[in-house]
Amino acid sequence: MEAPQYIGKEEVPSTLLRPGIDDPDSMRGKFEHMIRGVQTQVVAAIEEVDGCTFRQDAWTRPSGGGGITRVLQEGNVWEKAGVAVSVVYGTMPAESYRVAVGKDVPFEKDDRVPFFAAGVSSVMHPWNPHCPTMHFNYRYFETEEWKGIPGQWWFGGGTDITPSYIDEEDMRHFHGTYKAVCDRHDPTWYDKMKTNCDDYFQIPHRGETRGMGGIFFDDLNDRDQDAIFAFSSDCAANIVESYVPIVKKHKNDPYSARQKEWQQVRRGRYVEFNLVYDRGTIFGLKTGGRIESILMSMPLTASWRYDYQPEAQSTEAKFLDAVKNAHKQRWV
């Protein structure tokens, strides 16, 4: 794929779809409209709490698509907060496509399948160790007809929370918000998606999860397309409600040097997962995405202290036990 072209801070195109090619009333158009609205809503809510403003960068590709990245750095409440939208056209290796569709598709070694991907993603890293990091991503993926196989489509995404300390009331609020969303669309989904989240955000080499989970779904196409779009939209519309009240509650909490050190150690775990295991990061790097937007999720600061062991029975040790047994944690 060709390199993205930076177009500045203010020149944001009204749409990232390809003029005359992509129908704005199609799912591609509806999903782009939704994720751009989510970006605006979340940025406004964070700016209201923080008192600082986001920097905005936009980029496009000559063949169509592009993205808008908004980042707040060294604010009053957040060390770093970013919300990025991307609409990308490209090609994927045929082997990856064969695995994705679950069919024994004949292909040549260098065959590539045309695809469309759109998504909104975000990571919020507060200064205060008592305020959790939060991540969300909602995406839509299509392939075009290829070798007689009709185009395929999938939805994916989720919202998850990564505290450094466990406040059970906060966890009930966060998970309860997303259980209510799931229950509006399919009462079986919360338990499934909570489990999916715990499975996905595993750091195998540590034997831990990255945080306290949330919901996660991938390759979702088992029902009407508009029904899944409605669910994705509902999830995204509740990001602010699930997270911002928790930050407001704790942003002025006092904390010690030890608590700040523990937060930095946990941020190191966050980096390890994102760089080694996160499929979104890997996909962006392999498809020639804008590197600043892909690595927006990295915190400004993190720590890798050698053989760091929290004191027995401390709040840090209890947190470590929780992330080593994430599937046992039931908040709602």
Give bridge partners of residue 209 from the DSSP assignment: 202
Phi, psi of 168 (to 5 degrees): -60, -35
> Quick one: which H or E segment has residue 100?
helix 94-101
Q: Are 84 and 69 in contact (CB under 8 A)?
A: yes
The domain 7-328 is placed in CATH, from the list 3.10.520.10, 3.40.50.410, 3.40.1500.10, 2.40.160.20, at 3.40.1500.10
Q: What is the mean pLDDT of residues 74-101?
A: 82
135: annotated active-site residue:
yes
Q: Which of 125, 130, 135, 173 is catalytic?
A: 135
How far is residue 170's CA from residue 174's CA, in Å, rounded to a whole number? 6
Which pLDDT value is given to residue 280? 82
Which pLDDT value is given to residue 287? 67
Three-class DSSP category at 72: strand
How far is residue 88's CA from residue 67's CA, in Å, rounded to a whole number? 8
pLDDT (tens digit, 9 = 90+) per residue, 124-151? 999 999 999 999 999 999 988 777 777 8
pLDDT (tens digit, 9 = 90+) per residue, 189-228? 999 999 999 999 999 999 999 999 999 999 899 999 999 9
Q: What is the mean pLDDT of residues 99-104?
A: 54
Kindly report the average pLDDT of the chain as a whole number: 91
pLDDT (tens digit, 9 = 90+) per residue, 246-295? 999 999 999 999 999 999 999 999 999 999 999 888 877 876 677 888 89
